[in-house]
Amino acid sequence: MSNAKPLVIKEGIKELNATRKNSSDAINKRVLMLIEIKKEKGGAIAKRDLAKRIGVDPNSITSWKKLYEQSGMAGIVSDGRIGFKPSVVSAEQHKKMEQKLKDPKNGIRGYTELLDWVKTELSNDMKYITLVKYTQRHFGTKIKVARKSHVKKDAEAVETFKKTLVKSAGR
């Protein structure tokens, strides 16, 4: 087996630890790799040993080392992801959906009914799974919910029924 290629880390351990504290989990492991290499004498450590210490695949170690050699600390800290997709739902549509979902008398019994309502009322043609994930993320909806009371139920009739009931079902 050949010897590990030494990698010279320019930054100090304190600086690397400070960077590690302020970074995300994905970047965190990259910086941890640099710290482990810096601790090692000569900067030479086998990629498999380093991968075991950090808990990543050895191929990740190889690509991160190349990234550090090519672009330094800026390459390690950069996430690599570019812009994100804009939302399918506008702010105005979001408010209308929120009002509809928070209204206890709305009569919507599932996501397919909500999807139909969105298509007709909001003129937004979106996919079913997009609507499900959007409502779960923003409004905390669930697929399985308790059965709602009927939309046309008379509240006064319910109260008189409870008052005139001789024996409660719970006792």
The residue with greater pLDDT, 95 or 171, is: 95
Question: Are both 24 and 52 inside the same structural domain?
Answer: yes
pLDDT at residue 2 above 70? no
Question: Are both 66 and 107 inside the same structural domain?
Answer: no
- Structural domain containing residue 20: 13-77
Task: Report, as an integer, the average pLDDT of 146-163.
Answer: 80
Question: Are both 131 and 158 inside the same structural domain?
Answer: yes
Q: Roughly what angle, to the nearest 10 degrees, separates helices 25-39 and 47-54? A: 130
Instruction: Using alpha carbons, list the distances in angstroms from residue 136 to 68, 98, 130.
Output: 40, 12, 10
pLDDT tens, residue by residue, 21-34: 888 888 999 999 99
Question: Are both 57 and 108 inside the same structural domain?
Answer: no
- 168 located within any domain: no
Quick one: what percent of the chain has pLDDT higher than 90? 41
Name the domain boundary from 55, 77, 99. Answer: 77
Question: Are both 109 and 149 inside the same structural domain?
Answer: yes
- 104 located within any domain: yes
Query: Full-prediction pTM beyond 0.85?
Result: no
- 4 located within any domain: no
Question: Are both 18 and 68 inside the same structural domain?
Answer: yes
Task: Report, as an integer, the average pLDDT of 143-161.
Answer: 77
pLDDT at residue 146 above 80? no
pLDDT at residue 145 above 60? no
pLDDT tens, residue by residue, 46-94: 889 999 999 999 999 999 999 999 999 898 888 777 777 888 999 999 9
pLDDT at residue 43, rounded to an integer:
73
